[in-house]
Structure 1
Amino acid sequence: MRICIYGAGAIGGYLGVQLSLAGQDVTLIARGPHLDAMRRHGVRLLLDGEERVAHPLCTDDPAEVGPQDYVIITLKAHSVPYIVEPMQPLLGPDTAVVMATNGVPWWYFHGVEGPWRDRRLESLDPGGVQWDGIGPERVIGCVVYAATEVSEPGVIRHLKYNRFTLGEPSGEKTERVQRLARALIEAGFRVPIRRIRDEMWIKLWGNLAFNPISALTLETLGTIAGDPDTRAVAKTMMLEGQAVAEALGARFSIDIERRINGIAAVGEHRTSMLQDLDKGRPMEIDALVTAVQEMGRMVDVPTPAIDVVLALVRQRARVAGAYPDAVTGFVGSN
């Protein structure tokens, strides 16, 4: 299969090495010193105490590549609108686009039953750039549970976890999603096929609360979950998010205390939003928080705690120059 990974940073590079070594025809789209290093020396993956090296095609120009069977997008959600136009040469009539991004996806309401069918979320996809330029019918949803980092240009370090949950927006186990799952499993990943909106909410549930609270307090997951006051704020936000999700038909397979305890067990980890704030990079506020507020208003579910924390974290991001509405070009990888 021809597989292009767009935004081949930590997660994308990890996927790229494993898929390439498993025999797939892989292209990585990247930029800057990381791209230069991958071109010169291959992509190096540090995994389970060994170094693996792959030599897929690495480029910053999708026009060099041509139509693909799958395009896996591993950028931050707010970066995707900027790559819709340049990615067009990758899209053939049967190309599937795997959205391996965090938060509420822009395609969330594609094909759903009821009054919100094909509703577009303005906070995630202003002007419908992704809806019109990618097309929700191409999408395979993906929830990423993997911890990796770019330790130096061209070098990916795997830290823990290797699960990439897939699902069609329709909930069907189509041949295209099963074919991709088989390829990823052969490359060494855990790849369940699930009701993807439910899976998205389980991950978002924690990110919705703990990411912005961490950016406001500058504290780690363990500290936030271990302090009764900040834990209570997080739980209130999560309960509001759950009410929104359930009003839209989502189902939660675990209870809230178990989810929070799982987050606490991660320990002294600095969330991705806090890391982005530290480095002055655009923060994933809209995909993780704003979209939940927008959906709450759609279904008349009040979100007072989310509203307050969102207002504060937006202000914090703007002061730091880290709110993505001022950014041009694609920034960061998932």
Structure 2
Amino acid sequence: MRILVFGAGAIGCHLTARLIKAGADVHLIARGQQLDAITDRGLRLIGPQEDFTVPVRAYPSTAGLGQFDLVITAVKAYSLPHIVNDLLPVLGAHTQVASAVNGVPWWYFAGQKGVFGNQPVKRVDPGGGLFHRVGADRALGCVVLSANELVAPGVVQNRSSSNSFVLGPALEGLAVPAQASQLAHWLPSVTVSEHIRAAVWHKLLLNMGSSLLGCLTHSTGSQVAQSPALLGVFEAVMSEGSRVAAAVGVQVPPDLESRLARMRSNHHRCSMLQDLEAGRPLELDSQLLAVQDIARAYGVSTTTIDTLVALLQFKAAAETN
């Protein structure tokens, strides 16, 4: 099985390193210093109990690479619409495309009923290029629970005591494709599910709370979880998010205690805080604004989320100007 990982950020590098170590045939699209470092020295992954380097076939574009059985897009959600033309040449009739992205994914409403039924998520796929040209029929959701950070060009550090990648078909009723099953065979951290939307919301509730509070207070997950001043706000965000999920038919209880237990051992800065501190754009559309769109369409009150989003938008604009 030929695999293309499109994007050499923290998650893309994590998956590439582990898959190559497991013996998979992986190619990586990288740019700039990342491409130079990986080409010259290989890709290094540092974990709590491991440190290894693998050689990687890395390229600046998909030109001339041929078709792949599985493509994993590991770019930020706001970059996805800009890579459609690069993806099309590598897609064969049976290629699956797994989007390892935070927030509401572009394929979320494919085959669904209701207000947004069977149309692209406009916050993530405003022109519908992913939905109509790549196609939801080949889309795999990929929900990531893994704390990673690029600490140098070609070097990714994993700070999770356990990592989880949940894969499942975007269209309900489709069988889990062989590509997902093969990925799970190579990596014990990968599981497959026929109910990927529940996994999306389970992660998204955590994203909303940790991203909003982490960015506004420059705190790690453990600092948020151990702050009495922040816990009530975090709980309110989780509760509102759970009600938005229920509005689109997904029952995901806030499950506050188990989430806080995981966060207390998490000394990692969330990806949105990493982006904020580096002056990069934030994934506001996929993680937060798309949730607000759903809430408004279904009449769900999200007072706490709305207030925190307004503050974060102001903060992000001020710090990048």
TM-score (normalizing by structure 1): 0.87
Aligned partner letter, 1:168: P
Native 8 Å contact 1:19 1:184 kept in 2: no
Cα distance in structure 1, aligned partners of 2:223 and 2:9: 28
Instruction: Give the Å deviation of 1:313.
Output: 0.7
3-state DSSP of counterpart to 1:137 = helix
3-state DSSP of counterpart to 1:87 = helix
Native 8 Å contact 2:33 2:153 kept in 1: yes
Q: Following superposition of structure 1 onto structure 2, how do residues 1-334 of structure 1 map, counting pairs within 5 Å? A: 1-47=1-47, 49-160=49-160, 161-172=162-173, 174=175, 176=177, 178-252=178-252, 255-321=254-320
**Alpha carbons of 1:17 and 1:206: their partners in 2 closer, same or farther (altered >3 Å)?**
closer
Cα distance in structure 1, aligned partners of 2:89 and 2:156: 27
Cα distance in structure 2, aligned partners of 1:214 and 1:162: 21
Aligned partner letter, 2:8: A
Instruction: Give the Å deviation of 1:148.
Output: 2.7
Instruction: Give the Å deviation of 1:97.
Output: 0.6
**1:155-183 deviation per Cα after TM superposition (whole angstroms, max 9, x unaligned):** 3333322321111123446252x432333
Native 8 Å contact 1:85 1:133 kept in 2: no
Aligned partner letter, 2:167: L
**1:83-127 deviation per Cα after TM superposition (whole angstroms, max 9, x unaligned):** 112222112222111011011111111012445321332222222
Cα distance in structure 2, aligned partners of 1:49 and 1:268: 16
Native 8 Å contact 1:18 1:188 kept in 2: no
**1:13-55 deviation per Cα after TM superposition (whole angstroms, max 9, x unaligned):** 2222232233332110011111112112322333565543333
**Alpha carbons of 1:228 and 1:6: their partners in 2 closer, same or farther (altered >3 Å)?**
same
**Alpha carbons of 1:53 and 1:242: their partners in 2 closer, same or farther (altered >3 Å)?**
same
Instruction: Give the Å deviation of 1:214.
Output: 1.9
Native 8 Å contact 1:206 1:259 kept in 2: no
The gaps in structure 1 that reach 5 residues or longer are: 323-334
Cα distance in structure 2, aligned partners of 1:268 and 1:146: 12
**Alpha carbons of 1:133 and 1:259: their partners in 2 closer, same or farther (altered >3 Å)?**
farther
**Alpha carbons of 1:186 and 1:219: their partners in 2 closer, same or farther (altered >3 Å)?**
closer
Cα distance in structure 2, aligned partners of 1:209 and 1:175: 31
Cα distance in structure 1, aligned partners of 2:281 and 2:116: 30
Q: Which has the higher contact order (CA 8 A, sep 6+)?
A: 1
3-state DSSP of counterpart to 1:212 = helix
Say which is worse superposed, 52-61 or 279-288, in terms of deviation.
52-61
The gaps in structure 2 that reach 5 residues or longer are: none
Aligned partner letter, 2:186: E
**1:137-196 deviation per Cα after TM superposition (whole angstroms, max 9, x unaligned):** 2200011122233332223333322321111123446252x4323334324533242511
Cα distance in structure 1, aligned partners of 2:187 and 2:268: 28
**1:233-264 deviation per Cα after TM superposition (whole angstroms, max 9, x unaligned):** 22112211111100111022x54322442354
Cα distance in structure 2, aligned partners of 1:114 and 1:220: 37
Instruction: Give the Å deviation of 1:215.
Output: 1.3
Cα distance in structure 2, aligned partners of 1:201 and 1:259: 15
Native 8 Å contact 1:206 1:263 kept in 2: no
Native 8 Å contact 1:142 1:165 kept in 2: yes
Aligned partner letter, 2:164: R
**Alpha carbons of 1:188 and 1:267: their partners in 2 closer, same or farther (altered >3 Å)?**
closer
Native 8 Å contact 2:16 2:28 kept in 1: yes
* Number of residue equivalences: 320
3-state DSSP of counterpart to 1:64 = coil
Instruction: Give the Å deviation of 1:292.
Output: 0.6
Say which is worse superposed, 37-46 or 23-32, in terms of deviation.
37-46
Native 8 Å contact 2:7 2:28 kept in 1: yes
